[in-house]
Amino acid sequence: MEKEAFENVWFANRYSNLSPVAEAHLRLASNAYADGIKAETHLAIAKAICPNNPVVHVGEYRYYFYKGRLEEALKVAETCLTIIAKELGLPTQWQQVTPSHANFTSDEAANRYYLFCLKAYAYLLLRLENIELGWAATEKLLQLDKYNQVGGQVLLDVLLRMDTDDYDD
């Protein structure tokens, strides 16, 4: 099975406990994307029904991200990191996670989901110009994902270009 397909199956199977009502509200939120009040109402209902379900959080994250509401997307990314950290038995503070806590280089989808959440978190910090914390999150991502399986190197490349651009002016 292709790695991406495996991860999607894992995600779907792992969180198949999403209630049909919450799933319906996620679909309604998606359909109402242009109407912020309706979309956010449906997202809130889905979240109230399944408050710790990553499928709901991913929907909420995407909504805020594509609306350009990056601070709200950042809060969702933080929530996702905390939820998956607890599930994996990792420290809930990403700064405390080390490669010895889990085999982040394996194809274990839950570990990769953690890395993707950390990447999203680091990216949003950088977009919000919190460079110091974004740099630290990027370094942590690369420490955990030493083979760059989730593409965190691109964030470091941006940071290094920013450093170079500062000296070019």
Q: What is the pLDDT of residue 158?
A: 87
For the chain, domain boundaries: 1-68, 81-169
pLDDT at 14: 55
How far is residue 115's CA from residue 98's CA, in Å, rounded to a whole number? 12
C-alpha 142/C-alpha 92 separation (Å) is 18
- The pLDDT of residue 7 is 52
- The CA-atom distances, in angstroms, between 71 and each of 14, 62, 100, 104, 123 are 28, 12, 31, 27, 12
For the chain, residues with pLDDT lower than 70 are: 1-16, 163-169
Q: Please tell me the pTM assigned to this model.
A: 0.85
How far, in Å, CA of 77 to CA of 141, rounded? 14
